[in-house]
Structures are given as structure tokens and as C-alpha cells.
Amino acid sequence: MPIDKIFKDDANEEKGERARMASFIGAMAVADLVKSTLGPKGMDKILQSTGRGHSVTVTNDGATILKSLHIDNPAAKVLVDISKVQDDEVGDGTTSVVVLAGELLREAEKLVTSKIHPMTIIAGYRMAAECARDALLKRVMDNKEDAEKFRSDLMKIAMTTLCSKILSQDKEHFAEMAVDAVFRLKGSTNLEAIQIIKKPGGSLRDSFLDEGFILDKKIGIGQPKRIENAKILVANTAMDTDKVKIYGARVRVDSMTKVAEIEGAEKEKMKDKVNKILAHGINCFVNRQLIYNFPEELFADAGVLAIEHADFEGIERLGLVTGGEIASTFDNPESVKLGHCKLIEEIMIGEDKLIHFSGVAMGQACSIVLRGASHHVLDEAERSLHDALCVLSQTVNDSRVLLGGGWPEMVMAKEVDELARKTAGKKSHAIEAFSRALVAIPTTIADNAGLDSAELVAQLRAEHHNQGCNAGIDVISGAVGDMEERGIYEAFKVKQAVLLSATEAAEMILRVDEIITCAPRRREDRM
């Protein structure tokens, strides 16, 4: 039996050179796809789904673009994954990580063609990545002790992050909002307490940060519009029991009075439940499910504000923020933990009425209300702001910062070049290739801004041979500038994650020498 009959008929395999080429080409294609979104002058992409409604997303966030693609190439999927992880881990650098991995593979392809073994290339890349990380560690700044300086560092990091996004026009306004929101978290990286509400209308500049919690609901008729020193019971329970809840049940009666009795019993049951809830001594009741007219009337008579159908995320966050727990049974009032806040009132944003909880128990909570021309603008603004909030919350914990604008890549490339000169053997070619791949990031930033990248990168390289140089690419003036003066800063954690993830992904793809594709599962003929 010939060896190639191991697999099923439609399965196929690619070996050696062909498998490696397929991996390289797929990964480089994905990198080239998102390359044009890198940097302050990066362009956006429109993603249109083929599903119902043909929804349209306009974005330049690397992770969002790659998440929406249905990719067949296995190596390209590795790059999509590292971009997702980068987004979850630090929030920013999702495009850089893919571009760097793509460049490392482009360089590796040249080395493989000139008969250098993939394992040798991997060993060289490992040494280079270690050296590049050490180079950054030598040059980090840490102002955690000086609160004033640390805040200004965070502002600069936020503005640099927002620079390449839709919010770049009002970046000072949004950076201020993001920094205030993150300082309220007091070192926690749980962004649940920062609620982002999107309301179409107005312009992006009308967005604001509100201390407290905003629930996107209206207050019912005949209920108090304002409550001070509120005691809140957050619940997930059915408040619509005015019909028999046993499905398929039939009740036979011999007169209309019996029907009235059943209805009366239902009402009594509901009244008991409402009285149990009121026994908790509350003046605000927030329910996940519907509240029918009868119980709502009872709550209004008791002067209790009842809010129905608060979406699940809303009540979870409300419970977290007011310090209450979500209850579903009300027999033991002493075991239920109530939420507290100083004031509940109705506010207007644009045309909509919302409920505002201020003075909440968890002082970390705040709401950011985004205004904008359309849903597409608001969605992209939310993604941009989320990136900034992620980076800032990580930087509050790991307060080391670096300069931006292609400066870290040039610092790393210079050190890696020196290592290549000291290293004997074939590894030195791989180390040199790593340094060329790093320089691709400032090159791409310049290219996307329509500048002469060859000229600018050559100038940068010359500048970086001076000790303690702060030169990077200033896209606005289109020349090499001092990044410290321009206030272009980045978080060390982001750069480190980009460097290590990209190297590991490139290594993984380099190790491949065979791709086996399973035979598709056949549908059985059921005729």
C-alpha cells in the first residue's frame, strides 16, 4: 500500500519548502493588510458583514479588523490571535505586533532562501529579542513617586494612543477624561466600573465624564423623580405574575365569580411579594425583568422608585457600583445586601431621559457619555477610548514609560546591530535581520504619512549614534524631532508585549515544515 494513502481522499498536505512558503505568504499578507493603519496618519478600513442587515464597521484598530476577517491560512490565524491577545492584555499596539511579526517573517524568508536553517534563525531571534528588551529597560523612565509628573506622563501616553484614532482632533479633552477615569479606579485594572454610554447627536467634543452611574432607563409614571439617600434593592425576579404560569394548564370554572376569585388570588400573591420587597426598607427597586402595572402602582403608592427591564449588564454593574447584591428571593430581609447612593435623579442627554445615581458607595465608578454624529463614529470612538483606558490602567500599575514615535524601535535596532557584530557564526545574520525588521515600524509610520521614509530613517539612525538621543519621527512637521519636547510617550508594558509576542509568533511559524488539511466532512445522503 503506497504511503500517501494514509489520509482520506480529499485531505491534502504540503511539505518542506512549499509549506514554509504558504505560511510566510499568509502571514505577510495579513501584516500588509493592517500596515496602512499604523501611526498617527494611518487610514481606516470599512468592514461590511454579509449577514443580515449588512452591518458596516469603520475602524483602524488592528484587532477589530483582524477579528472580523475569515481567514483560511493557518499561519495568518496565528497573527490574528496575537493581535487579540495584545488587545486583551494591554489594549494598544495591536497593529504594531502584527506588522513586526510580518517583517520578522519577511526577513526570515530571505535567510531561509540563502540556506540558513530555521532553528538557527530562531536562536538568533531569541538572542536579539532579549538584547532589545534589555536596551529598552536601560532607557525607561519612572515617575511614580512624583504625582504631578506621573499624571503628565499618563496624559502624554493617552494623547499618543488617541493620536492615531478618530479622537485625534480632541485628544486633549479625551486624554483628560481617560486619565481622570483611571485615577478613580485607584490602581485596579477592572474597567467594569467605567461605564461608556453612547448617545448619537452633538459632536465628539460634547462628550463628558460623569461621576457616578447612569442607567439608560426612564422613571415610571407617578413615581418620585428624585430620591435622596437612596437604599437600592437590585433584583432579578418575575414581577408579572397575573396569569397562571404553568404552561399548558387548563382551569375549568363553572361561573364568572370563580374567574374573579382566581384573579383575586393572583393579585394577593403579587401584593404579598411587593410587601416582602418593601419590608427591606428600600426606596428604590431595580429589576432585571418586567414589572407589570399592578405592582408598579403598589410601589408608586409606597413612594418607591421602581425601574424595570434594566439590562443584565446594567444591573450587574449597578450592583457592583452601589455595593448591593442581586437578589431573587425576599423572605429574609436581613440576609440581602442593599446598595446605597446619595442621590437618584432623572437627567436629559440630547433627547433622551436617563437615570443618574450620584454619590455611589464605590467611589471608583464613573460614566463617560460619548456624543457623536452617527453610530459608526460612536462605535469607533468607544474602541479608541477603550484602548486608552486599557493602556492607562496598565501603566498605573507598571509605571515605566518610554518615548514614542519610532524612538524605541531605533534604540532596540542599534543595540541589536551591535550584538550582531559581536556574534560569531550564522546566528549573526538572523540578529541583523531582526534589527532590520524593527526599523520597519518607523519606516511604515513615515510611509503612511506620505513622507520620504528612506531619508527619515537614515537621519534617525545617524541621530541615534549620539549618546542619550531622543529623536523620533515627528509626523506632523514631517521631519525628525525630539520626542520628549513633543510629548510623545508610550507605555513600556505595551512595547514589551509587542516585542515578545511578535518574536514568539514568528518563531512558531518558522518551525512549520508541513501543513496537513483534513478532508471536509461529507453530508450523508438522507434520501
Instruction: Indicate which residues carry an active-site annotation.
Output: 61, 94-95, 387
| CA–CA gap between residue 503 and residue 129 (Å, rounded) | 7
Burial 502-515 (b: 16+ CB within 10 A, else e): bbbbbbbbbebeeb
Identity of the amino acid at 169: Q
Identity of the amino acid at 41: K
| CA–CA gap between residue 53 and residue 59 (Å, rounded) | 19
* DSSP-derived secondary structure letter, 50: S
| CA–CA gap between residue 350 and residue 466 (Å, rounded) | 55
| CA–CA gap between residue 416 and residue 270 (Å, rounded) | 74
| CA–CA gap between residue 152 and residue 175 (Å, rounded) | 10
| CA–CA gap between residue 379 and residue 197 (Å, rounded) | 10
Determine phi and psi for 184, rounding to 5 degrees.
-70, -25
Supply the DSSP string of 283-344, one letter for each residue: SEEEESS-B-HHHHHHHHHTT-EEE----HHHHHHHHHHHT--EES--S-GGGSPPEEEEEE
Q: Where are the alpha helices (DSSP H) in 5-141?
A: 16-35, 62-67, 74-89, 94-113, 118-139
CB 284 within 8 A of CB 305: yes
CB 392 within 8 A of CB 158: yes
Other Cβ atoms within 10 Å of 9 Cβ, number: 8
Cell for 191?
474597567
**Residue 517: which residues within 8 A CB-CB, separation 6 or more?**
11, 12, 13
3-state class of 516 per DSSP? strand
CB 101 within 8 A of CB 27: yes
Burial 70-81 (b: 16+ CB within 10 A, else e): eeebbbbebbbe
Nearest to 263 by CA among 242, 292, 235: 242
